[in-house]
Structure 1
Amino acid sequence: MIAYASRTGNVRYVVSKIQGEAIEIEEGLQLDKPFLLITYTDGLGDIPVRVAHFLEQNGTLCKGVVVSGNSNFGHHVFGGAGEKIASRYQVPLVRKLDLRGYRGDYEVIQQFYEERVIG
């Protein structure tokens, strides 16, 4: 499964390029199977609040994280949410995407998803 949070539509677009079951993160969402998290970065490298709440309940099922960000804010904060999630939950940071990313990014994400999530 892919669990995702999108604010501007960039993450939703990325998810549309990945073959697999996907669910948008809503308050109170409880999952019962492993997932790949795809999220955006909030502020200057922060984890979005709804993603943080979701992970408090579901983090043990997270197999990896993909993060979207904007490199115009500087590389010291670019995709910072993904780095923080990867560290906190001891999962791979699969990819940092500049906004919507590129086809090569989608291929890497798809491969990770097939091998490590649905495996």
Structure 2
Amino acid sequence: MIVFASRTGNVRYIVSKLQAELVEVADDLTLDKPYLLITYTDGFGSIPAKVSAFLDRNAALCKGVVVSGNTNFGNTAYGAAGDKIAEAYNVPLIRKIDVRGNSTDYEAIQNYYEKSVIM
């Protein structure tokens, strides 16, 4: 399964390009099977609060993180939520995607998902 959080619609667009069970982060969401997390970066490099709360309950089943960001914010802030999640929860950062990404990004995510999440 792919769990996602989208604020501006960019992540929602990205996950629409993938073949997977999709679940949106919600306040009370608790999972019982492995998932790939796809999220956005908040502000200038922060993990969105709802994603942090979700991970506090579900980090043990996370098999990796993909993050959307905007290169216009510079190298330090671009996709920094993914870097922080990877470090804090000891999961691999699969990909940083600029805004909505492209077909190469979607293919890489799909391949990782099929090989490492749904096994």
CA deviation vs aligned residue, 1:45-93 (integer Å, no higher than 9, x gap): 0000000000000001000000000110101110000000011111111
Q: How does 1:94-105 map to 2 (within 5 A)?
A: 94-105=94-105
CA deviation vs aligned residue, 1:86-110 (integer Å, no higher than 9, x gap): 1111111110000001100000000
Query: Quick one: which amino acid aligns to residue 2 of structure 2?
Result: I
Q: Percent identity?
A: 62
Counterpart for residue 36 of structure 1 = 36
Counterpart for residue 2 of structure 1 = 2
Query: Quick one: which amino acid aligns to residue 39 of structure 2?
Result: T
Distance, in Å, in 2 between the alignment partners of 1:63 and 1:93 is 9
Q: Which runs of 5+ in 1 are unaligned?
A: none
Aligned to 1:14, the other structure's residue is in SS state helix
Q: Which runs of 5+ in 2 are unaligned?
A: none
Counterpart for residue 51 of structure 2 = 51
* Deviation of 1:28 (Å): 1.0
Query: Quick one: which amino acid aligns to residue 94 of structure 1?
Result: I
Distance, in Å, in 1 between the alignment partners of 2:3 and 2:16 is 12
**Does 1:26 find its partner at 2:26?**
yes
Counterpart for residue 84 of structure 2 = 84
**Does 1:13 find its partner at 2:7?**
no
- What is the alpha-carbon root mean square deviation over aligned residues? 0.5
Counterpart for residue 60 of structure 1 = 60
Taking structure 1 as the reference length, what is the TM-score of the superposition?
0.99
Q: How many residues were matched structurally?
A: 119
Counterpart for residue 110 of structure 1 = 110
4+ runs of 1 displaced by more than 2 Å?
A: none
Distance, in Å, in 2 between the alignment partners of 1:43 and 1:7 is 11
Distance, in Å, in 2 between the alignment partners of 1:23 and 1:106 is 17
Taking structure 2 as the reference length, what is the TM-score of the superposition?
0.99
